[in-house]
Amino acid sequence: TCFGGSDATAIAHTLQDHPLAVCLDGSPGSYYLQEGSGSGLSKFHIFFEGGSFCGSHAECAQRAQGYLGSTAKDPPHKVLDDHPFFSTSQK
C-alpha cells in the first residue's frame, strides 16, 4: 500500500537551522513527512499546517498562544490518515 495502515505515521521535522522560519511565538517552524511504502515507495505526504494571517497586533498575540501560532506543543509524530486531506479511506 502507499499509505495507511499501522505505519501511517508522519514524523515532525523542525526548521530550527533556519532562524527566520519561526512561528508567532518564536518557536521554530515545522512540517510532518510521511514516506510511502510498498507500491507507493517513491511517494510521500508533507503536512505543513498553515497559520493564516492576523488582522491586528492583538489578533497575532492571541494566535501565538494556540496551535496556529506555535509549534511548541506539536507532537513528534502525527497520524495523517485522521486528516481529511490525507485520508486513504475509499469512503
> Could you give the 3-state DSSP secondary structure of residue 45?
strand
Question: Among residues 48, 49, 45, 27, which one has the least CA distance to residue 36?
Answer: 45
User: According to the model, what pLDDT value does residue 5 have?
Assistant: 47
Give the integer Cα–Cα distance in Å for 42 and 62. 40
User: How far is the first Cα of the chain from the last one, in angstroms, to the nearest whole number?
Assistant: 17
The three three-digit cell numbers of residue 36, written as one number:
510511502
The three three-digit cell numbers of residue 24, written as one number:
508567532
Give the integer Cα–Cα distance in Å for 42 and 56. 43
pTM of the model: 0.75
Pair 3, 88: CB distance under 8 Å: yes
User: According to the model, what pLDDT value does residue 31 have?
Assistant: 94
| Full pLDDT tens readout for the chain, 91 residues | 344 444 568 999 999 999 999 999 999 999 999 888 888 888 888 888 876 788 999 999 998 888 889 999 999 998 877 666 666 555 5
